[in-house]
Chains A and B, each alone.
Chain A
């Protein structure tokens, strides 16, 4: 069912994710996250979604995580701040949050898998994608027709985030 390459990559992703959470130095934590993104891109690539794989590598590993690592290097955090205290309420809350996200994703995945017979918007087999004309066409078609409003809202949200970050930073300078 599952290809061995995907299985190996999935194990690597899981290990790197665990390393991200549990490693002591912030840099090695961030770098494990980068490697996790790359391995995840590998899973996408092996599954035939080359476009998503490239985007994963460019956007997450190539751009966002660079900013993360950059700010961590600038802040020069000490080790004392990142000891994991398993009993604190923050940890419990974080675990609950992670569990609920996992539950939601699994529910959605099971729902979609069971409805695989009927045409569900957003789910495509590799053959369907090939008949449309490739991953790029499929993704951009979905983005600019089905999910157009959401896409515009997200871009607006990003604009608001940039503007507010500017305002916050500016106040400090004055």
Chain B
């Protein structure tokens, strides 16, 4: 690796971490104001213009508070849990491509931190580690509500990982690759000439199952039973305060960001241009050199990626303030007796169709 490669990788890491760190405050703000707007309220509008500085104030408050450890907690795991919870989703985002490639000088820079041929499995591997912070936090706090939250969280995440995995496998059959970049390239064609060949149009059922499962995986309403306020106070992060709680808070939104990125990469064309953007870009094709045009396209792709992720994040918030929370047996019923069989049948159907007519 040359110095240029190191700088390129560092810049990409900075971009992803920066995206995470800038998305979280905006999402915290939007979660509160969006909730208010959906409930005919105004929401926090005092700190800064439109209340945009509200998350900054929240974070300052959390960081300046006392670092508290409950007397009966097991200290090491109590402190470890928030760290893992923040690291795992950020690490998973390393494998998600956010653009095709830039041409700087005579170098080609892939807009993806880790270009792995098994990209999707790497994302799943890190996302799978997200169970541990919940379990550890619940167990190490030595509090019965935390413990119940941890048990709920871990069993819920295991259950929905199965439906998620099966929906994913059916899409892998369609794409015939584990490489997220190749999936995006596959989806960049058009289907029947007028709609983009996105996974959601090829296999809408898998998209639905995948979407429901990522809501359960990220512990968002209507599946936020691990922290169900009304019965478990705050669930697994009940005993956490100050900056450790801030880390859990951060982790929740980064996990949402990661899940949205994965979802749009598989089902909504990833960084592929939104219909219409290609038409606008074609005006510049003649006036720019091919390299510069590629760079412009890459920037447009990054914009498309951010826009799609933004829409998905809006959907997360929208659903959160619409749906009531599930009861636990209903959750398990939905996961095991409805989503799991549907995902299996869907997988079989996709396999048969591919065997008959090919991709």
Q: Mark B130-162, 1 if CB is under 8 A from A, else 0.
A: 011001101100000001001100110110010
Contacts A50-B116, A66-B158; A61 near B121 (Cβ below 8 A) = no
Docked-complex contact A66 and B135, CB < 8 angstroms: yes
Judge whether A54 is part of the interface by a CB distance below 8 angstroms: yes
How near does chain B come to A23, taking the closest CB pair, in angstroms? 11
Chain B residues whose CB sits within 8 angstroms of the CB of A62 once the complex forms: 124-125, 128-129, 131, 161
Interface of A is mostly: helix
B residues in contact with A38, CB < 8 Å: 129
Are A31 and B128 in contact, with the CB atoms below 8 A? no
B186 on the A face (CB < 8 A): no
Collect the chain B residues with CB atoms within 8 Å of residue A67's CB.
158
B178 at the interface (CB under 8 A from A): yes
Q: Which residue of A lies closest to B147 (CB)?
A: A73
Cβ contact within 8 Å between B128 and A57: yes
Known A-B contacts A70-B154, A135-B117; the reply to A57 vs B129 at CB < 8 A is yes
Among residues of A, the one whose C-beta sits closest to the C-beta of B120 is: A54
Cβ of B178 and Cβ of A136 under 8 Å apart?
Answer: yes
On whether the beta carbons of A54 and B121 are closer than 8 Å, the reply is yes
Task: Assess whether B77 is in contact with A31, with CB atoms less than 8 Å apart.
Answer: yes
A34 within 8 A of B: yes
A36-78 to B contact mask, C-beta < 8 Å, 1/0: 0010010000000011011101100111001101100110000
Question: Given the complex of chains A and B, what is the CA–CA distance between A28 and B139 in angstroms?
Answer: 11
Are B128 and A27 interface neighbours, CB within 8 A?
Answer: no
Which residues 125-167 of A have a CB within 8 angstroms of B? 134-136
Task: Decide if A63 touches B158 in the complex (CB within 8 Å).
Answer: yes
Does the CB pair A73–B150 fall under 8 Å? yes
- The answer to whether the Cβ of B118 comes within 8 Å of any Cβ in the partner chain is yes
Q: A31-B136, A135-B117 are in contact. Are A70 and B125 (CB under 8 A)?
A: no
With CB as the reference atom, state the residue of chain A lying closest to B124: A58
B264 interface contact, C-beta 8 A: no
Q: How far is the CA of A62 from the CA of B127 in the complex (A)?
A: 8
Minimum CB–CB distance for A139 against chain B, Å: 10
Which label, helix, strand, loop or mixed, suits the secondary structure of the B interface? helix
Chain B positions within 8 Å of A53 at CB level: 125
> Contact at A66–B154, with CB atoms within 8 Å?
yes
A74-110 vs B, Cβ < 8 Å mask (1 yes, 0 no): 1000000000000000000000000000000000000
Interface residue range, chain A: 20 to 34
Also in contact, A54 and B77, with CB within 8 A (given A27-B139, A73-B150): no
* Contact A134 B129, beta carbon cutoff 8 Å: no
Judge whether B135 and A73 touch: CB under 8 Å.
yes
- Report, as a range, how many residues of chain B touch the other chain: 20 to 34
Asked whether, in the complex, the Cβ of A63 is within 8 Å of the Cβ of B128, the reply is yes
Distance between Cα atoms of A69 and B131 in the complex (Å): 11
In the complex where A73-B147, A74-B151, A136-B178 touch, is A51 in contact with B131 (Cβ < 8 A)? no
Q: What is the CA–CA distance of A156 and B147 in the complex, to the nearest angstrom?
A: 36
Nearest Cβ distance between residue B41 and chain A, in whole angstroms? 40
Mark B61-85 against chain A: 1 for CB-CB distance below 8 A, else 0.
0000000000000101100000000
Q: Which of A1-48 contact B (CB under 8 A)?
A: 25, 27-28, 31, 34, 38, 41
Contacts of B132 in A (CB 8 A): 31, 34, 66, 69
Residue from B76, B116, B124, B155 within 8 A of A70 (CB atoms): B155
CB distance from B124 to the nearest CB of A (A): 5
Rounded to whole Å, the gap between the CB of A83 and the closest CB of chain B is 19
Question: Which residues of chain B have C-beta atoms less than 8 A from A27's C-beta?
Answer: 74, 77, 139
* Among B116, B132, B136, B139: residue with most chain A CB under 10 A: B132
Chain B contacts to A: CB under 8 angstroms: 74, 76-77, 116-118, 121-122, 124-126, 128-129, 131-132, 135-136, 138-139, 147, 150-151, 154-155, 157-158, 161, 178
| Listed A/B pairs (19) with beta-carbon separation below 8 Å | A25-B74, A27-B74, A31-B77, A38-B129, A53-B125, A58-B121, A61-B125, A62-B124, A62-B125, A66-B131, A69-B135, A70-B135, A70-B154, A73-B138, A73-B151, A74-B151, A135-B117, A136-B117, A136-B178
Known interface pairs A28-B76, A54-B121, A62-B128; 16 further A-B residue pairs with C-beta atoms within 8 A, sorted by A's residue number: A28-B77, A41-B125, A53-B125, A54-B118, A54-B124, A58-B121, A58-B125, A61-B125, A62-B124, A67-B158, A69-B135, A70-B151, A73-B138, A73-B139, A134-B118, A136-B178
**Shortest 5 CB-CB distances between A and B: which pairs?**
A62-B128, A57-B125, A54-B121, A54-B125, A134-B117
